[in-house]
Amino acid sequence: MGQVSKDTFICLDCESTGLNVEQDRIIEIALVKFTFEKKIIESFETLINPECIIPEEAKAIHNISYSMVENKPLIQEILPQIFNMLDSYPIVGHGISFDINLIKHEAKRTKVPCNLKNTLIDTLRLARLYGNSPINSLEKLREHFHIEQTKAHRAMNDVLVNIEVFKKLAQSFNTTEDLVARLKRPILLNTMPLGKYKGQKFSNIPIEYLLWAANMHFDEDLLFSINTEIKNREKTKNFERSVNPFSVLDSE
- CA distances (Å), origin 133, targets 120, 128, 174: 22, 8, 22
55 and 145 co-located in one domain: yes
Q: What pLDDT is stored for residue 38 in this prediction?
A: 77
- Smallest Cα–Cα separation from 43: which of 162, 151, 141, 126? 162
Residue 195 counted as domain residue: no
* Containing structural domain, residue 165: 9-183
Q: Does residue 149 surpass a pLDDT of 90?
A: no
Q: What pLDDT is stored for residue 189 in this prediction?
A: 93
Q: Does residue 150 surpass a pLDDT of 80?
A: no
Residue 104 counted as domain residue: yes
Q: Does residue 249 surpass a pLDDT of 80?
A: no
Q: What pLDDT is stored for residue 2 in this prediction?
A: 76
Q: What pLDDT is stored for residue 224 in this prediction?
A: 97
218 and 126 co-located in one domain: no
Angle between helix 155-169 and helix 123-130 axes, rounded to 10 deg = 40
Name, of 82-86, 154-158, 238-242, the range with top average pLDDT: 82-86
Taking each continuous run of H as one helix and of E as one strand, the counts in the chain are 11, 5
Q: Does residue 248 surpass a pLDDT of 60?
A: no
211 and 148 co-located in one domain: no
The residue-averaged pLDDT of 242-248 equals 63
Per-residue pLDDT band at 242 (split at 50, 70, 90): confident
Q: What pLDDT is stored for residue 39 in this prediction?
A: 81
What is the three-class DSSP state of 47?
Answer: strand
Per-residue pLDDT band at 235 (split at 50, 70, 90): confident
Q: Does residue 246 surpass a pLDDT of 70?
A: no
Residue 197 counted as domain residue: no
The residue-averaged pLDDT of 197-224 equals 95
Q: What pLDDT is stored for residue 245 in this prediction?
A: 60
151 and 243 co-located in one domain: no
State how far the Cα of 214 lies from the Cα of 222, in Å rounded to an integer: 9
Residue 156 counted as domain residue: yes
The residue-averaged pLDDT of 44-56 equals 94
What is the three-class DSSP state of 43?
Answer: strand
What is the three-class DSSP state of 40?
Answer: strand
Per-residue pLDDT band at 170 (split at 50, 70, 90): very high
Q: What is the pLDDT of residues 173-206, one digit of tens each?
A: 999 999 999 999 999 998 999 999 999 999 999 9
The residue-averaged pLDDT of 87-110 equals 96
Residue 65 counted as domain residue: yes
- Structurally, the chain folds into a number of domains equal to 2
Cα 48-136-128 angle, rounded to 5 deg: 115
Q: What pLDDT is stored for residue 154 in this prediction?
A: 84
43 and 156 co-located in one domain: yes
Give percent of the chain with pLDDT exceeding 70. 94
31 and 156 co-located in one domain: yes
Residue 234 counted as domain residue: yes
Per-residue pLDDT band at 15 (split at 50, 70, 90): very high
Question: What is the CATH number for 98?
Answer: 3.30.420.10
Q: What pLDDT is stored for residue 158 in this prediction?
A: 93
